[in-house]
Amino acid sequence: MTLADCTVMVVEDHEFQRQTTLQMLANLGVGALLEAADGDSALALLADVDIVVCDLDMPGMDGVEFLRHVARTRPGTAIVIASGLDESVLASAELTAREFGLEVLGAIRKPLTARRLLQAVGLHGAQKPAPPTPAPGEPRTQVVIDLADGQPAALEVRGGTAAQALAAAGDLRLTFVVERPTEDLLQLDPNRVTISVLDGPGLSDRALLTRLRVHGFGLGVADFGAGRATLADLARLPLTEVQLAARIVQGGSPEALAATIEALKGVTIVGAGCDSKAEWLLLLELGCHRAQGSYAP
């Protein structure tokens, strides 16, 4: 679907900002435009809308409550959140809208610009390209980014041999993810490698995990929250790093995510599945150290 085929509704109580946004959308080639000064008026027009550009701080029904009603009336509706409130509120509102089941195209801090609007509404109907499927035996790689400065901190490698993983990492530190630890891992250079064991049966080999730490390796758990390990289980292991599964970062409540990060203080925490600015900002605010995902700051 192109912008010319879309109907976009702007829900904004400030007249000048509403008209400015409508004009920008018209200039971008949006096919049809609707407007509403409050949530109640907007709900009456919702049936014909493809995308809603919504303020948060409005008289009467606030933006979050409006989005709750949108989700109940037309689940899956595409939303752009636009607000002058601070980034933490925007991030929380974006995550809340996703939890409601809405398609969030963006959360933009005012003042709006045509470029930022186009970046958001242009995502409607677009399909994210599927990641390439590695050939059998070929390692899968993903860069781990430091949340504080946005720079690469390590390369995570899954599958393949240790030699392939080291070659792929180059000058970056290697986080080598394995299902079960094996003694041959002790032959690697501990100054270059963190061994990360998938949340599963491999965590039961406490003796070998302890030996890896004795030899100076970083020791991590990958996809924590996707298996059966508990925080109490992790506390009994000599870990240096824990990667939170994408389902915790994307699908859990911010309160649960905050509690998990708080409980893991003392180790490096990596948030997997960080696919939006809102998720990035939330992880940073809650004290997570690193992130993996499609979002690039």
Mean local confidence (pLDDT), 264-281: 89
Please say whether the beta carbons of 205 and 213 come within 8 A: no
Give tens-digit pLDDT for 103-158. 888 888 888 888 778 777 766 654 444 455 566 667 899 999 999 888 999 999 99
Given a cut of 90, whether residue 6 has pLDDT beyond it is no
What's the confidence (pLDDT) of residue 250? 77
pLDDT at 67: 93
More confident residue, 107 or 9: 9
Residue 246, both tokens = 């994408």
Say if domain 140-291 classifies as CATH 3.20.20.450.
yes
pLDDT above 60 (res 55): yes
Among 44-58, 97-111, 193-207, name the most confident range.
193-207
Confidence (pLDDT) at 180 = 95
Q: What is the pLDDT of residue 129?
A: 47
**Distance from the first to the final alpha carbon of the chain:** 27
Q: What is the 3-state secondary structure (H, E, C) of 112-180?
A: CCHHHHHHHHCCCCCCCCCCCCCCCCCCEEEEEEECCCCCEEEEEEECCCHHHHHHHHCCCEEEEEECC
Residue 134: the pLDDT is: 61
Q: Which residues are bridge partners to 271 per DSSP?
A: 244, 291
CB atoms within 10 A of CB 2: 11
3-state secondary structure of 52: strand
The fraction of the chain above a pLDDT of 90, given in percent, is: 59
Residue 181 CB partners (closer than 8 Å, separation 6+) = 195, 197, 202, 205, 208, 209, 212
* CB-based contact 178:196 (threshold 8 Å): yes
Mean pLDDT value across residues 49-64:
92
Q: For all residues of the chain together, what is the average pLDDT? A: 89
User: What is the spatial distance between Cα 52 and Cα 256, in angstroms, rounded to a whole number?
Assistant: 29
Q: What is the pLDDT of residue 244?
A: 96
Does residue 21 surpass a pLDDT of 90?
yes
Model pLDDT, residue 120: 79
Instruction: Kindly state the average pLDDT of the residues 196-203.
Output: 95
Which has more confidence, 177 or 84? 177
Residue count (the chain): 297
Specify the pLDDT at position 1. 57
**pLDDT (0 to 100) of residue 128:** 45
Is the CB of residue 82 less than 8 Å from the CB of residue 110?
Answer: yes
In what side-by-side order are the strands of the sheet with 32-36?
Answer: 32-36, 7-11, 51-54, 78-83, 103-109
Domain with residues 3-121, CATH architecture: 3-Layer(aba) Sandwich (3.40)
Mean pLDDT confidence for 243-265: 86
Task: Report pLDDT for 118.
Answer: 79
Domain coordinates in residue numbering, the chain: 3-121, 140-291
Mean pLDDT of 84-100: 86
pLDDT computed for residue 127 by the predictor: 45
Q: What is the pLDDT of residue 255?
A: 82
> What pLDDT score was predicted for residue 297?
66
